[in-house]
Structures are given as structure tokens and as C-alpha cells.
Structure 1
Amino acid sequence: MGADRFEGAKLVLSLVFGGILWLFIQLYKVFFVKPQKLASRLRNQGIRGPSPSFLLGNIPEIKRIQLQVQTKSSAAPKTSQNENQPVIDHDWPSTVFPHLHQWLTEYGPTFLYSTGNIQLLCTTDVEILKEIGLCTSPNLGKPAYLSKDRGPLLGQSILSTSGSVWAHQRKIIAPELFIDKVKGMISLMTECTMSMERSWGSRIESEGGTAVIDVAPDMRRLSADIISRACFGSNYARGEEIFVKLKSLQDVMSKASIGIPGLRYDLDKKFHIIESPTCGFLNRHFPTKQNREIWKLEREINSLILNVVKQRADANHENDLLQMILEGAKRDDEGLTSRVNLNKFIVDNCKAIYFAGHETTAITASWCLMLLAAHPDWQARVRTELLEICQDQLPQFDMLRNMKVLTMVIQETMRLYPATAYLIRSAEHDIKFKDVVVPKGVDIQIPIPIVQQDPAVWGPDAHQFNPERFANGVLGACKSPQAYFPFGVGARICAGQHLAMAELKIILSCLLPKFSFSLSPAYRHAPILGIVVHPRHGVHLCITPIS
């Protein structure tokens, strides 16, 4: 009997040991063998880059470079000739992405680095960008970590999927954001903006004729109100409730991210690693305080969206974006929605549209008001144009195309301050761009703000606010029009770009004829990268009514 127990124990130990050994071998392959093979294939083509450390890749070096730049910035703060005028340096990418700047200088416009087991081919080569824009191959998709690391926010939506699933979602959603559909949203955009304008007017009057307002949160609320009405129709109050929870979810997630897979960022002025890709899966699923809060918000948001969907099934149909998504999903003739799960399809894409539809537009509107406040000559030019076009009337859709100066200002704002930091594509199979064969499993990373402020492409004034460069459109703005891509490129260009541009024009054309904007001495210029590029300390402006 004792011998049987002993043999049984030996068997159990053997199985446990075998399991541990198997797991170790698999981890060794995933985190060492595969990355080394991918890196070797690129190095054999002459692609260089910093030497990675075991398991963490170049994360420790990224941290070190960031700390060095931060220390130098703290030791030698920039000053202005006018002590009441806030310092605004548009060359913020050099401090937010100093590791990329250093490696671009050292290794050239295309180089390789890694974050854990993720191999990143970073490039600012405009010719490669042009070829990516022209590529329609299904071999180029979105990296898997988008749906993993950003799963609670993006899920398996149009923003994070690839291949046939993405194509199916694009087919349903994109037509509902074409220019003819946007035209029908203009009145609700105007209505929402006028409501905020009245609120500002009352506040300014109560404060004696001028008020210092942080316009960033107000732009978020305004944009959320617009997308709530556009997406949820008469249920927009429920949409606002969803927005509040989505904003909370975004805040929780962005507190621990600077947009580099595997590297977490502490907003309290210190960089440190609290997660590596090696233990990322465990960290995402371990019940930490942060994860519990993320899971709770995700459940609440999903439940709210599904409740609205259920109400639609029990009531008359409304002609809003949610209804169009529902009908498009039901018209699925390829069976793809059933594979993804109808409820998940609806929930994930509602969250994605809500996030992309309000956050990026709100941030761009905030930067635009800041730049006009810092450049009163351009503010006056835009205001004069708007008064000539609108003639004391509310802006209409047909007026938007005539707003040339305003369009130039918006384009220059998105050049200097694109909401999205990176254009990232993943090679689903080996694929060639220019003279580089990108192996399957490598992610191509293009830093949008660095390319859009490259003096070699944009000229010596690349770091300056100069909307005049867009006087003849994007084609005449720089040497290579492919270097301007705030909405992305190619087949995956932002489906909501027409909605975003119309919303920005409506918001600004309603506000600028009514108010004068100047920078508050309290304004601190500090762009920072969370999930999107945003003003770390808000956008505090002095606002005065125009009589």
C-alpha cells in the first residue's frame, strides 16, 4: 500500500515537473526564441536598433531616457519674455517621445526596438508610409494587444480588429458616417453648442464680464452631448450616462499607460515599470484594485448599452446611429456577426464610436481654441471670415465648405497636436514595403506627431503655428502630402473624419463670433500621452463676450 502511494506521489511530481518544464519551454519560445528570430530577419536587411534586454526588451532604456529628459526639463524650465504670457513650445514630441528622437538620430528613419516580446519596426520614412496607405492586403492588420490591453474600451470593434471581421464592421458602420448622413446631424451639433454658449455667457456675466474657464472638460461634455444625441437619439440622456462611465473607464486605464506596450506611466511625475509583457496576462486578470474598478465599469457600460438596445427592440425605430448599426448587423449576409456575437458586436462598436467620436474631437477643439488664444491675429481672421459667411445666422451645412481660414487653422492644429500618437499596423504575414520585408508578427509603428513636425518635410518652421501652409490644401502644405495623416491612412482611414471636421467647424463657428479668447496666466502647456494626446493641466483661457 505504501509503495502504491509512493509511486502515485512520484507520478504526480513527474506530471507537475513536466507541466512546469513544458510551460517554461513555451515561455522561452514566446519571449526569447520568436522575438530573436524576428529581430534577426530585420537585422539581416540592415535594420538596426538598440540592444534589447532579456524579457523586457528596451523598456528599461525607454525609462532611463524619459527620466533623463524629465530631469533636464525640471532643472531648466523654459521662460517667456513676458512673465504673464505662458510658454508654448510646439516641439513637444521631443520630450514626450525622447527615446524615439534619440534612436531616429542614431539609427536612421527606420529602426527596430522591442517592448518585452513585441517587436516594433518604427519608421518616419514617408515612402514607406505612402506604400502602407496604398496597401489593401489583409496581411496588414491591427496588433493583438489593442484588443487585449484596451479590451474594456475597444473590445473587438472596428478600431481593434483585422481581416474579414474588420471589413464586415467597416461595411456596416462607415456608410452611416458618410457626408450625406453627417449633414443631417448639423442641427443637433448647433443646438448642443448654443446650449454651452448660453452657459458660458451666464458664467461670464456672473464673474463681471470676463471668466477664466478650463475649456477642455467643457469641450468633452459638449462633444459627448453631440455624439449621445447622434448615436442614441431620444435616449441621449442614457447616452450621457454611458459617456460618464466611459470617461471614468478611460481615466482609470490611462493612468497606467503612455501608449507603449509593456510600459506603464505614473502621472505623479515618475516613470516606472509595473507591468511587462511577460506578466501582462496575469496583471490584466489579477484582481488588483485598478482591475476590479475596470471590470466593474466595463460591466456597467455593457449593461447600459444592452438596455438601450432592448428598449429599441420593444419600441418604434429611430433614425440614429445605433439603429443603423442594429439594422446593418441584422442584414449580415456572411454570418460574421453571429461568429462575433451580436450583442458583443453592438456593445464593442458603440463603445468604440463613443470613445473615438467624442474624445478626439473634444481634444482637437480644445487645442484649437488654445492656439487661437495664443495667436490673436489668426483668431481675428477666422472671426472675420465667419461673420462674412454666417451673416449673424447659425451655421448651416452649406456654409462649412466656404470656411477656408477656419479649415486651415483646424488642419494646422491637427498637424501640431494629433489626438492619436501612433499609426500602428501588424504584419499578419510577411509583407514588403519599399525595400524592407516585414516578417509576420512584427508591428509597424509610425509616430504621427514626429512625422508631422519633421523639418525635412515641412520646412524650417515645422515647429511653429502657421495655418497659411494649408492655403492650397494638404498637397501644397509640405513636400510629401503623405506626411499629413491625423485621421490615419489607406483603407483603415478614420470612418468618422467627416463627422469630426463638421463638428469642429460647427463648434468653432458658433463660439468665435460670440467670444474673444486669450491665454490665462494659469495655463500650463504640457501635452501628455495617455490613451490619446491631451493637455495634462487642462486649457485655461480668459473668455470675454463680444458685444
Structure 2
Amino acid sequence: MVPGDTFASAAPLPWCFLVVVGGLVGLRLLWAASQLLDRLWWQPRRLERVLRAQGLRGTSYRFLTGDLKDMARLNQEAWSRPLPLRCHDIAPRVIPFLYKNMREHGKTSIYWFGSIPKVTIVDPDLVKEVMSNKFGHFEKPMFPALFKLLTDGVASKEGETWAKHRRILNPGFHLEKLKRMLPAFTVCCEELVSRWVESTGCDGSCELDIWPELKNLTGDVISRTAFGSSYLEGRRIFELQGEQAERVMKSFQKITIPGYMLLPTENNRKMRRINKEIETILRNLIGKRIQAMKKGDESTKDDLLGLLLESNMRVTDGGSKSGMAMTIEDIIGECKLFYFAGMETTSVLLTWTMVVLSIHPEWQDRAREEVLGLFGKNKPELEGLGGLKIVTMILYEVLRLYPPAVQYSRKTYKAMELGGIVYPAGVIVEMSVLMIHHDPDIWGSDVHEFKPNRFSEGISKASNGPGAFLPFGWGPRICIGQNFALLEAKIALCMILQRFEFELAPSYTHAPHTLFTMQPMHGAQVKLRVI
């Protein structure tokens, strides 16, 4: 046999191989396309039929985008119109699509976040049932590639991982631990008040936008209480987290596009660079702190990072429980959460409290009288803070009217019965805190009025049903930092009331809207006068 005959007889084999490979690739692409079609068309249609068969009403599914275009349009329309100054009926402006959908289709109604069905629930008893999560059938609907860039702490964990993180974190938020942080709270507030006093003119007054000022305050507080002597490095994290939050929000409505987060867009690349810088700073801080703690430096245990590491090491030293300890990556995620939740929640609460007290000066006067009666012009002390009845009622009423988080969401991972409806796997149950807090059937006909005295006998007697006050969530996953946030807010408000009277500036526009939290869209311009 000559060489040519050998090549000739072997030549067809590569072509057969290519045909087979091509066929396999084609089958793989067809399978992928069928899976995508099922996810984006057939599955949403199946879920819609199941929900509608049980009497639920709402919008109909539209391929890929669902109701996102209508949401964006209604947001743009609502946000273009500010509210009257004394108007606290804010739901039509803050959540216009949801407000319209519930009016048209009922309190329990369907709408579509891309291809994912959401069912709105505003019955406090059903909300408590979902958030109690007794059987683990409701979990947080996370978008890992996006939210991990912002925060990857206990709030995003599930199951045993969540339980492990919560057990390790809990000791750091006990009251006796928070007492250690009181000096950091007062130092930051003193700096804020002094800066405001220096800004006043010869008449003892000035006008400023308190929204960025109070964000800086709470960023300073979390920097000092989380990282102590490493405050300046913590300050850099605060700045980066602020930019990251804005970029994440820009991407949020695009994540329904399959693979969007993998695209090399300018925003995606920038978010990853910011995340890398944040994690590098945190990794260095954590490494230095671990070394200091191993050398027996007791001063390293007085801030949140020290308390977290101390608790984590104690679990690690428990022998048989050593597998429960967090990794460095876990601790980095919790530190991100300290910033995002710790800074945002308190800053929006303080901002809306000052806005509302400017609108209702009679309550501002009553609060100041209480503060001066307890502390005079001295620094607030922890023991005295428990006697702040009027200030506490005011903060609760602001949290009711202007809750930092306007809704909580949970997703079904198996069929789950709730209120006589069986929700199949893949449905998001959205609990609208804002609509619950503004429901006249729960709070009475004066629901849209600022009436702090509705909390005069405590939270449980403020409404027609227990469990209707949800600014920090409910159940086992209630916000771990709620005592931290309220303590910080009380101290800051006391020290501001001790030194200033305030009213809304003529340039203020009443325009609440929601990003991750409810914020003043055009700032919060206030006129301060030193007293």
C-alpha cells in the first residue's frame, strides 16, 4: 500500500468527527435555547395560570421585561411632581406602580419583575407567617453576582449559614456591648454640631442640606464603631460603598437580562474595581487586627470588628464546634453589611425626623423640652436615654410614615400555602411595609397624619393589629442592628435639639423616593438657628 492510499482512506474520518461534534454542539445549543425559552416564557406562563386559578388578579406577563417598563414610566411621572409640604401620604409617589396595581387588582395582587412573578401582601398576619420562616420555605430572593458587590453579610445568608453568622454576630449588638460605643457616638455628634455652629452667620443661623451631612455623620459613626483606631481607613470604605450603592442601583433593572452581569460594560467593570479596593482594605484591616488580638492587645475588642473577631475566635476555640467559625471572606462580607445597613438606616431616619419636626414645630418644641429636662446642655447618657418618651414616640412615628425599607421580599422554593393560596416554587412574595404602615384599616382614619402619641402606650397598642409596625422586619431575621440604629438616632437628635431650632428652608422640595432606602430626592434643605 502506497502512502497516498493510506491518506486517501483516512481522509473521511475527520469529516465524520466534525459532523458528530457539530451535531453535539447543535444539540447543546438547542437544549440551552429550550431551557432559556422555558425560563423566560413557559415557566412564567405556568406560574401565572396557577396563581390566577386561585383567584389572584394582577398584570399579565410580558416576555422578558414583565412590568419593568411600566414601573420606570410611572416612577418618572410620579417623581417629576413633588408633594405638598405637610403631605405624608407618600405611597403614590414613592411606589407608584405598586400603589396603582393594588388599587386596580386588590391588596393581594400579581405583578412581574422581568420573568419573575411577585405577589404583594399587606396583611400583617400573613407577613408575620412569612417572616417567621418556620419551615424554611421562604428565602430571600438574592441576585448574588450583583448584591455581593455591595454586601454579602448575614442579611443575605440562608439556612445553617445564616444561623451560624447570626450566633457569632449577636454578642456584638447586646446592650452592654453597645455601651462601649457610646463615646464614639457622642464624639461624632459633637463634631457635627460644632461644624454646624461654625457655619452660622452673625445672626446665629444658616441654611444647609442635612441629607449629605447626616450621611457623613452615620458614616463617621460606623467607621469609628466598626474599626476604632483605623477610622480613616474605614472612612475610605464608606466613600466607596456610597458610590457602589449608586452603581448597583443603576444595574438593578437590567439583571433580568440573562448574563448581564458578565458583560464588560463600563459600569460592571467599575463596580468590580470598587469591590476589589474595598475588600483589599478590609482584608488588611482584619489581618492587622487578628495579629494585635493574638498579642493580647485589649484595646482591639472595643469596636464591632474586634467584637466580631473575638466572638468568631471563641467559637473556633470550642473544639467540636470549630467548623462553625467564619472565614475571612465571611468577615469581609459582614463588614460590608456594617457599612451599608448601619449608615443608610440611621441617616434616612434622622433626615426624615428633622424634616418632619420642621413641618410640625410643636413636636420639635416638646422633644427639645424633654431633652433639656433630662440632660440640660450636657452629653446624653445611656441611663437617661431610656427616659426619652416623646423622642421615642417621634422616632417610631417617623419610621411608620417614612420606613427606610419600603418592602421585604421572600421567594418560595417549594409549594407553600399562605392565607388560603398555594404559592408554587419560584414566586416572590413581596411584603409592602409602606402600604402596611399607611393602611387606614390598621392605623385608623388619621393614618396619613403625623401623630407620635399613637405610640404613647408602646408599639403593640399603636395599631389595630400586633405586628403591623415593621421598620426593622420581624421574626428571627429582624434587623440585628436595630438597637444600634435607634441608640445612635436618639443621641444625635438629642444633641441637635440641645443646640438648634430648625425649620425647612424655602429651597426644600418634599420629594421622598426610594433607591435602596427611602431618601429625599432633592436633598433636605433646613434653616438652623443656634439657641
Instruction: Give the TM-score, by structure 1 length.
Output: 0.89
Query: Does residue 360 in structure 1 map to residue 345 in structure 2?
Result: yes
Q: Deviations over 1:315-347 (max 9, x none)?
A: 235112112222333324556557xx7121011
Deviations 1:262-289 (A, max 9, x none): x3xxxxxxxxxxx25133xx22121111
**In structure 2, how many angstroms separate the alpha carbons of the residues matched to 1:251 and 1:530?**
8
Q: Does 1:328 align with 2:311?
A: yes
The residue aligned with 2:58 is 49
Listed one character per residue, the Cα deviations across residues 430-461 of structure 1 (whole Å, up to 9, x for unaligned) are 33223222222222101111110112211222
Report if aligned partners of 2:376, 2:498 keep a CA contact under 8 Å in 1: no
Tell me which amino acid in the other structure corresponds to 1:126: P
- Listed as ranges, the matches of 1:140-289 within 5 Å are 140-145=138-143, 147-155=144-152, 157-205=153-201, 208-257=203-252, 263=253, 275=254, 277-279=256-258, 282-289=259-266
1:100-135 CA-to-partner distances (Å, cap 9, x unmatched) read 122212222212222222221211122212323444
- Which digits, 9 at most, give the CA deviation of each residue in 1:301-322, with x for residues without a partner? 0000000011112323511211
Is the CA contact (8 Å cut-off) linking 1:113 and 1:119 kept in structure 2? yes
Distance 1:133 1:8, change over 3 A: closer
User: Cα distance 1:291–1:88, how it changes in 2: closer, same or farther (>3 A)?
Assistant: farther
User: Which of 396, 401, 405 matches 1:416?
Assistant: 401
Comparing 497-506 and 447-456, the one that deviates more: 447-456
Gaps spanning 5+ residues in structure 1: where? 80-86, 258-262, 264-274
Which residue matches 1:524? 509
Aligned-residue offset at 1:9: 3.7
Q: Which residue does 1:37 correspond to in 2?
A: 46
Moved more, 429-438 or 521-530: 429-438
Cα pair 1:143 1:426 within 8 Å, conserved: yes
| 1:105 paired residue number | 103
The amino acid of 1:483's aligned partner reads: A
Aligned to 1:18: 27
- 2:45·2:61 contact (CA, 8 Å) conserved in 1? no
Q: Distance in 2 between matches of 1:113 and 1:251?
A: 25
Structure 1 distance, partners of 2:246, 2:461, is 39
| Structure 2 equivalent of residue 308 of structure 1 | 285
1:51-76 per-residue CA deviation (whole Å, 9 max, x = no partner) reads 11122223234345445556xx65xx
Moved more, 320-329 or 443-452: 320-329
Between 458-467 and 488-497, report the one with greater CA deviation: 458-467
Q: Per-residue displacement from partner, 1:412-442 (whole Å, max 9, x unpaired)? A: 1111111112111122333322322222222
For 1:148 and 1:415, locate their aligned partners in 2 and report how far apart those are by CA, in whole Å.
32
Shift of 1:408: 0.8
* Pairing 1:62–2:77 present: no
Q: Counterpart of 2:154 in 1: which secondary structure?
A: coil
Give the 3-state SS of the residue equivalent to 1:101 in structure 2.
helix
Query: 1:40-92: CA deviations, max 9, x gaps?
Result: 3322322222111122223234345445556xx65xx766xxxxxxx343222
Partner deviation per Cα, 1:222-252 (whole Å, 9 max, x = no partner): 1111111111121122111111111121122
Q: Which moved more, 1:43-52 or 1:491-500?
A: 43-52
Alpha carbons 1:154, 1:352 under 8 Å: kept: yes
Contact 1:141–1:161 under 8 Å retained in 2: no
Q: How does 1:337-348 map to 2 (within 5 A)?
A: 342-348=327-333
Check the 8 A contact 1:451/1:483 in 2, yes or no. yes
Match of 1:139 among 129, 137, 140: 137
For the residues of structure 2 that align with 1:237 and 1:65, how far apart are their CA atoms?
Answer: 41
* SS in structure 2 at match of 1:89: coil
CA contact (8 A) 1:56 1:276 kept: no
**Partner of 2:212: helix, strand, or coil?**
helix
Residues 104, 110 of structure 1: 8 Å contact kept: yes
Q: Is the 8 A contact 2:409 2:428 kept in 1?
A: yes
Provide the rounded CA distance (Å) in 2 between the counterparts of 1:127 and 1:347: 36
The separation in 1 between residues aligned to 2:193 and 2:159, in whole angstroms, is 44
Aligned residue for 2:389? 404
Give the gaps of 5 or more residues in structure 2. 1-7
Q: 1:125 aligned to 2:123?
A: yes
Aligned to 1:297: 274
Task: Among all aligned residue pairs of Structure 1 and Structure 2, give the percentage whose two residues are the same amino acid.
Answer: 31
In structure 2, what is the Cα distance between the partners aligned to 1:68 and 1:376?
31
| Separation in 1, partners of 2:255, 2:175 | 43
CA 1:295–1:11 in structure 2 vs 1: closer, same or farther (change >3 Å)? Answer: same
Answer whether contact 2:154 2:166 (CA < 8 A) is retained.
yes
Query: Counterparts of 1:45 and 1:454 in 2: how far apart (Å)?
Result: 25
Q: Distance in 2 between matches of 1:294 and 1:27?
A: 27
RMSD: 2.0
* Alpha-carbon distance in structure 1 between the residues aligned to 2:250 and 2:528: 30
Query: Corresponding residue for 1:91?
Result: 89
Whole-Å separation in 1 of the counterparts to 2:444 and 2:323:
47
CA drift of 1:3 comes to 3.6
How many Å separate the matches in 2 of 1:69 and 1:541? Answer: 24
In our comparison, the structure showing a higher alpha carbon Rg is: 2
Contact 1:210/1:542 (8 A) holds in 2: yes
- Tell whether the 8 Å contact from 1:408 to 1:471 is kept in structure 2 after alignment: yes
Using a 3 Å threshold, how does the CA distance of structure 1 residues 68 and 515 change in structure 2: closer, same or farther? closer
Q: C-alpha distance in 1, partners of 2:506/2:100? A: 33
Alignment partners' CA distance in 1, 2:177 and 2:40: 47
Q: Structure 2 vs 1, CA of residues 60 and 335 (structure 1 numbering), >3 Å: closer, same or farther?
A: farther
Query: Residues 489, 286 of structure 1: CA spacing in aligned structure 2 closer, same or farther, 3 A cutoff?
Result: same
Q: 1:503 to 1:288 in 2, by over 3 A?
A: same
SS in 1 for 2:526: strand
Q: Is the 8 A contact 1:152 1:298 kept in 2?
A: yes
Name the amino acid aligned to 2:330. Answer: F
Secondary structure of 1:531's aligned partner: coil
C-alpha separation between the residues in 2 aligned to 1:305 and 1:234?
14
